[in-house]
Structure 1
Amino acid sequence: MLMFWVRPMKHYNKEKKKKKKASTCLQTYLQPLFILPYQEFANCSEPKRNDDDEPYLPVLTPCFWQQGNTYSVSSSRHLSSSKNTLLDLAFNKSPENKGQIRRQPIPPDVRFDTRAFLKCRPEYSYMSLDFTQRPQPTSFDKAWELLQRVTVLKGALKPSDVSSILWELSCVDSDKTALVRSDLRFVMLLRYSIENLQLYSLSQLLDVLQAFVWLDMPSVHSVLSLFESELSRRVDQMTFHQLLFVADLWRCIGKQVPQFLKKFYASLPLFVGQIRTPELVQLLYIIGEGRHCPKNLIQLVEQLLMRHLHELQPEEIGTVCLGLFKSQTLLSEGAVMRILDRAHIFVKDMSDFGLVNVMKYLRFCHLYHKEWLKAMGTEVPKRAHRMGVQGLMHVALACSALHYCNDKILVGIAERVQLLVPHCRSKDSCKLLWAFGTLGFPPVKSPSLYPSLTEGLRQRKAEFYRYPEHLLTGLLGLAFVSTFPEDLISLALSPEFVNLALKSTQLDLKKDLYTLNGAVELELPTWTGPQLSSELKKDVANMLWNFAESDVCQKQEVVEAYACLKDLLGGAEFVCKRMIMPHTRSIDLEVHLDSNGKPIPVTPPCNTAPEKMSSKSDSLYNWDKMNVGVTLTDDLVGQLLNTKTKKLPRETAKPTLVHKVDPDEGEKMFDTGLFLTNEITEMLTKSSVRKENNGPVKLAIQVCHRNHFCYHSISCWDFTP
């Protein structure tokens, strides 16, 4: 990128002090403007925030990101005739995200209208901006005359002049707005626009804000913050429709305005009687785009939603679900199920975008709606060929979160995704790998799915240095289906990448690194690539074990399984709670058998957390020499949990003591109704050890939990995580 910088010429130093001062002023005035070549500057604009669930973040990857528009101009004290203090405050402070490198948006593979719900009712025209109603275009010559008028009036510009000129400038053709914004006279106009904000009428402020939308003003421009402050001060003067309209204009500009929204939400109780169906939908849209719903409004929102639910149209249902999802607003279970009932009625009429939004909220609530998910088994395969990457990703993530394994849905997504890999962000690819991996989607069902997504990760390696969590997510998803791309694993476990991941202030990635490292140690015994340091492994192992002791080990299924094995084998010294397989994040009950199949005491003591769960050099288990194992079926887990007879709360439930009986009595081994399979019976009571193995046999009996199983599923594959 070419860089231009205006500096005073050397011979200026020899001239009079007055000329030198003028030169310095010129430098101050022009310096920020000539950072980029003119054409780049004219076309550079702030990318609008996308409609994904993840907030926009700048990154530092030159391959995929470009320099943002340093559009604001430093204050020139000779430019204005009055109120220089206000101007200095507005233009000398650093704009939001100043100097950061911003994301260059990838062209979407499928475009969709995120504001399609506005076409459902004419009432939305009073509280939102219709992008199809752009003002009649003004000739560029007239725009040039208006800009020339700015240089004539200068500080004498009145609020009415400013709002009128800005409105007419916003009427130029959309392909000419960049030229208008880059003109120095337009910059002067913006400076004059904030000198007397308190003198603007409310209609003039709304005209200016609407003009900013049509002019495609960068959302980080410092002028906008002053307009937000002024409009926040006038919240009490606006009608409910005006408040919704202003909030929508800020959304169209792409600027987050928490100050304005806070005052807006505080005033909502005054307008409850005016909130009908369109106002409610628009309000939830605004709440979602603001990414926050005050806790004191959740009950009010739920009451209004239940009152108007029967009037919602298909696209409005999708918008409501998206707003609740983006703002992380959890309604009561009954309310959510009623929303899903309404959505199911219109499922065939709902757009792909609306359908995905419903799946997003279902994923957030972790609720199972039988009829809706059954309908997805028909709708998703039928629509997948026309859906985009992000929509497919969110459907897959919803199935993963609900542990809902539907062959038709997943195969339909897999076949479509393979064709869209060039459009996949690293985030999309990694979350798809996670969703399919956690559901145990077998590679044989779609042989090209995992290789194509993995190759997509290789093409976007640079993005992982800004988003290390995505790479770990993808690799852990692959580990669930026993797929280990060694080049990407080497990157993830390299010292440089590990240090980068540990510096993340938003996420704690220690557990993910430890999980991946543990999976590699167990599944790739010949691995010679990088690994985590022993200090880090010890630190995370202790952290995980402390959590397990206080939480996981206290769960009813673990307590009961431990009690059963303890009684069966003859005492507590024969069973030990451990975390032997870290990549499953579950508790294992360790049992030792001698060469005759008789239980022997387990060492080390149970109250010590292992410093190393597994390693090639000092392994607790000689996995490659063992030919033993126990398959825990769904029936077996249900029997271990004994859910039909155990109805006491976890904190008061006491494990039932069982009585050891001879193994020849068959599968029913406990008078509590607990059944053991033939395999586990044989492993625990008989010798199943190879003759050449003279040492003790060490068994890790995994106590699974609901995250390891699919339920209410159309098809479940043989999946051991």
Structure 2
Amino acid sequence: MAVCVLCRRVPRLHHFLRKDSTLTQVLRVIVQDTDDVKRTKGELQQWEPFLPAQYRPYYNPSSYYSVCHFTSSCNQAENDEDVCLSTLTPSLWQQGNHYIVSCSRYLSTSSNRLLELPFNKDSEPPLPSDSLINGNLIPQNVKVDSRAFQRCRREYASITLDLKQLPHPVEWHKVVPLLEKVDLFKDKKKPSVISQLFVELSHLQPNMMSLLRFDQRFIRLLQYSVEHLGLFTNHQVLRVLRSLVWLDLPSDHGVFGLYEAELCCRVDHMSLHQLLLAADLCRCIGMQVPQFLQSLYPAIRLYLGKMNVSELVQLLYIMGEGRWCPEDLRGPVEDLLMNHLDKLYPEEVGTVCLGLFKSQTPISDHAVTCIVQKACSYVGDMSDFAIANILKYMRFSHVYHEMWLENMAQEVPRRAPGMGIKGLMHVALACSSLHFKNDQILLAIAERVPFLAQQCRSKDSSKMLWAFGTLGFLPVQNPSFYPSLIEALRQRKVEFQKYPQHLLSGLLGLIFVSQFPEDLIALALNPDFVRVALKSSHLDLRKDYLTLDEAVALELPQWTGPRLSCKLREEVAEKLWIYAKSDVCLKPEVREAESLLQDLLGGEEFVCKRMILPHTRTIDLEVHLDASGQPIPVNPASNTDIKSLQERPSKVHFRQEWNGMNVGVTLTDELFARLTTRNATKTFSSPVQHAHVPTLDPDEGGSQIKTRLSHSNEKETVTRSICLDSAHQDSKSPVKLAIQVSNRNHYLYHSQQLLGLHSMKRRHLKLAGYRVVELCYWEWFPLLRESKMKKLEYLHRKIYDSLH
């Protein structure tokens, strides 16, 4: 039960100390059960004489506070990396990908800079202490020590606190005389005596700490410390903070706010070691200290030129745990890191990468490459935790290091049986972000995950599903992998009310590989759940919802469950198209393809640039052929027949908006061959006499193609009719082609296998009745430098081949 003293936010401590005014402080008293209510009221009454009348305590017996021990809170904070770049924030690679509408969920990151410290994150429901799978007892998770780097060098002893070296424990009866001293020096409360008492009390046995925290004499000692805090030396302040770590006060205890204010006042008078130690002690306590960090970094800048390796690594660790690195420090820190790179030990390399990753600090590609290259030299000596940290920063920077990934293909299968679920998740997520698919890595992870699935947080399951779905890992490759994670999601349904993005991430990864758990889909599309998910002020889940909803409509025709409202679908699709028109549609390779197709087919009315399937977030060049093989306008709103079009071509106007178009036109290789060789042997009358292939300038090969193709309109339409009529003589419905200008970010690295979203798009286009014609980036991009004739020949060949 928690009893809080509510008061107005006070200025910094030194204002009160210098003016000798009454100190008002928020001190929270923690009790463990409802039987202590009366005693708690009595404890509160003793504070009232020290508070002004308007600041009387507010007692609420219905409020509860959960006591968190520093060891568990630190481990949770250190192990809980919650900066998901591949599925939340747009990565550097994604920001440069102009061929897919951004699927970033974050609306703003400005609020994350200082306030999203790891020790204040909303914790997810606790996992069971152990799991029983197939009769085997599985430990909850593999523990990692994120502060192991601090034992690499002796120099860390002066700037950090080693949490492994606990004070020598003493019994309660030895502490009682110390507490009695608190009342003996009422008017002789010297800072040296107070700090020494804290040090001696911190040696109490850990299991007796809760008894000490509720002792009235200890509470008075806390009061004396804050009243005289301005008289403490820097060394005494740090001694008290170190003692408070062992005393295990809750990180949100009111006394810590005053200590932070005092530290802010002292930054200009503290040495580099004292500054780093103060920041590390705050980290160990679990304090949120955004104001102190804002004051710390300008003071640190004065020492950058004199920093040694341990000081630099500790600084990067503090930056990572504070989730912020000032822009003016990024350049100097990178330079200093490059100077000390050869001196780093394996665990220090992992800490450097983790600090850069958590603080979202970009450095040059060259610097990242050098760091990863250094890690390659002793990858076998690195811990699993350090390896995962390097992969995290590669995921953030999107620097592809082939040697490192080759090492991972050897190391991950060897280490996977002993890795925890978080480490496996980060390996998979890094592979998907780098578009790197290695079957050895994925199979090793897939074999391990079913044994740990019951221990997965919703975040672990969802990111694992997203990663494997993006990489196109098929269910047949490991039949138990996807079912185990799906079941893990079902067991975590309660978490989705707080973290709806996890459910959507997992479901999207599943639909990439055609897996549709209908109960989870029904939960995600439930109107009440949708309202909860869309209320988020910093996440935009609407695009993810559109992708899920339309995938269900196409691949589950029997679906009778909930769907998104038409209004929401239209709003999201419209916004996606607005973005595409201002970005993707303007790319040179897309505009060149559109222009040449218009020339090849006979006019702009035969080519429509639009998002055929908005939920796939990419555009297509849509062309159609009618039942007789003739190109028809891509405009369903027009009732004008083809004959009237050739009579009044200038009067027909075709809209280019995506949301009303379902028409298009294509050509064939054989047609172009017949056009260029003039080997037509049979003639047919054709109504499309206005279609023509434009002439080219001599420097573009126009003299050749002009000789071959500048015949009468009758000859052109006759040969076109021959090819198309023979290809579709048995077809009565129009042929719809979706011509795609692909990009390397649509594919796995050094592979022609599509990523999950784009593989799903191909599947959905076929379900929607389209034939896909791809202008492969490895073919089309080099052609952009060639003559117009070569490009026309290429387009003609691609279209013709698609008709067979």
For 1:700 and 1:123, the matched residues in 2 are separated by: 63
For 1:144 and 1:33, the matched residues in 2 are separated by: 30
2:86 is aligned with 1:47: no
CA deviation vs aligned residue, 1:423-457 (integer Å, no higher than 9, x gap): 11000000000000011111111111111101110
2:471 is aligned with 1:433: no
1:589 deviates by: 1.8
CA deviation vs aligned residue, 1:184-208 (integer Å, no higher than 9, x gap): 4333322232112111121111111
8 Å CA contact 1:298–1:329 kept in 2: the answer is yes
1:475 deviates by: 0.7
Structure 2: gaps (5+ residues): 2-32, 40-48, 85-116, 130-139, 637-653, 669-698, 710-719, 761-804
Task: State how 1:513-524 maps to structure 2 within 5 Å.
Answer: 513-524=545-556
For 1:658 and 1:254, the matched residues in 2 are separated by: 71
Aligned AA (1:599): P
Assess, with a 3 A threshold, how the Cα gap between structure 1 residues 716 and 601 changes in structure 2: closer, same or farther.
closer
For 1:496 and 1:55, the matched residues in 2 are separated by: 27
8 Å CA contact 1:45–1:218 kept in 2: the answer is no
For 2:374 and 2:122, the matched residues in 1 are separated by: 44
Aligned AA (2:466): W
Assess, with a 3 A threshold, how the Cα gap between structure 1 residues 547 and 100 changes in structure 2: closer, same or farther.
closer
Assess, with a 3 A threshold, how the Cα gap between structure 1 residues 448 and 253 changes in structure 2: closer, same or farther.
same
SS in structure 2 of the partner of residue 132 of structure 1:
coil
8 Å CA contact 2:747–2:753 kept in 1: the answer is no
8 Å CA contact 1:5–1:35 kept in 2: the answer is no
8 Å CA contact 2:619–2:740 kept in 1: the answer is yes
Assess, with a 3 A threshold, how the Cα gap between structure 1 residues 155 and 495 changes in structure 2: closer, same or farther.
farther
Assess, with a 3 A threshold, how the Cα gap between structure 1 residues 303 and 350 changes in structure 2: closer, same or farther.
same
TM-score, normalised relative to structure 2: 0.70
CA RMSD of aligned residues (A): 3.6
Residue equivalent to 2:747? 709
For 1:30 and 1:141, the matched residues in 2 are separated by: 34
Residue equivalent to 1:720? 759
CA deviation vs aligned residue, 1:617-645 (integer Å, no higher than 9, x gap): xxx69xxxxxx9x9xxxxxxxxxxxxxxx
8 Å CA contact 1:298–1:331 kept in 2: the answer is yes
8 Å CA contact 2:392–2:426 kept in 1: the answer is yes
Residue equivalent to 1:261? 293
CA deviation vs aligned residue, 1:693-718 (integer Å, no higher than 9, x gap): 63323233344333321013699899
State how many pairs are aligned. Answer: 608
1:159 deviates by: 2.5
8 Å CA contact 2:597–2:607 kept in 1: the answer is yes
Assess, with a 3 A threshold, how the Cα gap between structure 1 residues 133 and 302 changes in structure 2: closer, same or farther.
same
CA deviation vs aligned residue, 1:668-693 (integer Å, no higher than 9, x gap): x9xxxxxxxxxxx99x95776694x6
Assess, with a 3 A threshold, how the Cα gap between structure 1 residues 564 and 215 changes in structure 2: closer, same or farther.
farther
Assess, with a 3 A threshold, how the Cα gap between structure 1 residues 260 and 218 changes in structure 2: closer, same or farther.
same
8 Å CA contact 2:413–2:445 kept in 1: the answer is yes
2:369 is aligned with 1:346: no
2:394 is aligned with 1:356: no
1:160 deviates by: 2.7
2:220 is aligned with 1:188: yes
Greater alpha carbon shift after TM alignment, 253-262 vs 453-462: 253-262
For 2:414 and 2:453, the matched residues in 1 are separated by: 20
Residue equivalent to 1:143? 175
2:352 is aligned with 1:320: yes
Assess, with a 3 A threshold, how the Cα gap between structure 1 residues 380 and 188 changes in structure 2: closer, same or farther.
same
Aligned AA (2:456): C
| 2:153 paired residue among 121, 136, 145 | 121
1:42 deviates by: 9.8
For 2:458 and 2:329, the matched residues in 1 are separated by: 36
TM-score, normalised relative to structure 1: 0.77
Residue equivalent to 1:481? 513
8 Å CA contact 1:46–1:218 kept in 2: the answer is no
For 2:750 and 2:553, the matched residues in 1 are separated by: 34
Aligned AA (1:262): Q
Assess, with a 3 A threshold, how the Cα gap between structure 1 residues 156 and 551 changes in structure 2: closer, same or farther.
same
1:236 deviates by: 1.4
For 2:57 and 2:194, the matched residues in 1 are separated by: 22
Higher-Rg structure is 2
Assess, with a 3 A threshold, how the Cα gap between structure 1 residues 144 and 685 changes in structure 2: closer, same or farther.
farther
Assess, with a 3 A threshold, how the Cα gap between structure 1 residues 238 and 388 changes in structure 2: closer, same or farther.
same
2:475 is aligned with 1:443: yes
8 Å CA contact 1:124–1:278 kept in 2: the answer is yes
Residue equivalent to 2:540? 508
For 2:200 and 2:479, the matched residues in 1 are separated by: 58
1:525 deviates by: 1.9
CA deviation vs aligned residue, 1:463-502 (integer Å, no higher than 9, x gap): 0000111111111111111111111111111111110111
Task: State how 1:328-343 maps to structure 2 within 5 Å.
Answer: 328-343=360-375
2:405 is aligned with 1:373: yes
Task: State how 1:488-637 maps to structure 2 within 5 Å.
Answer: 488-604=520-636, 605-610=654-659
8 Å CA contact 1:154–1:192 kept in 2: the answer is no
Residue equivalent to 2:238? 206
Aligned AA (2:372): L
Aligned AA (2:255): V
Residue equivalent to 1:698? 736
* RCO comparison, higher one (Cα < 8 Å, 6+): 2
For 2:332 and 2:496, the matched residues in 1 are separated by: 41
Aligned AA (1:695): S
8 Å CA contact 2:167–2:203 kept in 1: the answer is yes
Greater alpha carbon shift after TM alignment, 559-568 vs 468-477: 559-568
SS in structure 1 of the partner of residue 199 of structure 2:
helix
Assess, with a 3 A threshold, how the Cα gap between structure 1 residues 416 and 293 changes in structure 2: closer, same or farther.
same
Identity %: 52
Residue equivalent to 2:439? 407
CA deviation vs aligned residue, 1:596-629 (integer Å, no higher than 9, x gap): 2322110154432428x9xxxxxx69xxxxxx9x
For 1:154 and 1:42, the matched residues in 2 are separated by: 32
SS in structure 2 of the partner of residue 419 of structure 1:
helix
CA deviation vs aligned residue, 1:488-532 (integer Å, no higher than 9, x gap): 111111111110111001111111111111211222222211111
Aligned AA (1:699): L
